[in-house]
């Protein structure tokens, strides 16, 4: 995992995490605003593992990455929309800052 902090926001790139986070690791992460999440469901981690990690991290915004297949994306969205608002942004880039962070956690596809 890679953690970036800039302009008052903290983002985590989950990368190729192949395990759950310990309580100590979660404490050291602190508050996470944005999580870049690998949603392929195969190569990095299963959707079960990913949703547990995302639930533990409690990011305000989840930005999907590692689109392995459309069936993986569809499975991720079906499960994600149970817990969070899921939306598609109309561009492949998006300015983020404290002022435009969602009030409740959501998944944003670019």
pTM, full prediction: 0.92
22-25 long-range contacts (CB < 8 A, ≥24 apart) are none
User: Measured between alpha carbons, how far is 29 from 23 in angstroms, rounded to an integer?
Assistant: 10
Q: What is the pLDDT of residue 43?
A: 79
User: Measured between alpha carbons, how far is 102 from 98 in angstroms, rounded to an integer?
Assistant: 9
Mark residue 7 as left, alpha or beta (left: phi above 0; alpha: psi -120 to 50; beta: remaining).
Answer: left
What total of structural domains would you count in the chain? 1
Q: What is the pLDDT of residue 54?
A: 97
**How high is the mean pLDDT in each 10-residue block of the chain (110 residues)?**
92 90 94 95 87 96 85 90 95 90 94
CATH of the domain at 29: 3.60.15.10
Q: What is the pLDDT of residue 4?
A: 93
Q: Write down the residue that tokens 């492949």 correspond to.
A: 92
Q: What is the pLDDT of residue 67?
A: 80
- Segments forming the whole domain that contains residue 54: 2-109
């Amino acid at each position: 995992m890679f953690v970036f902090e800039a302009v008052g926001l903290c983002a985590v790139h989950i990368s190729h995490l192949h395990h759950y986070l310990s309580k100590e690791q979660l404490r050291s992460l602190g508050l996470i605003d944005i999580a870049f999440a690998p949603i392929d469901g195969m190569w990095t981690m299963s959707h079960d593992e990913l949703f547990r990690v995302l639930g533990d991290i409690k990011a305000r915004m989840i930005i999907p990455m590692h689109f392995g297949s459309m069936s993986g994306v569809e499975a991720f969205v079906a499960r994600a929309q149970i817990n969070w608002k899921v939306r598609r942004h109309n561009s492949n880039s998006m300015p983020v800052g404290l002022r435009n962070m969602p009030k409740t956690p959501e998944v944003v596809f670019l």
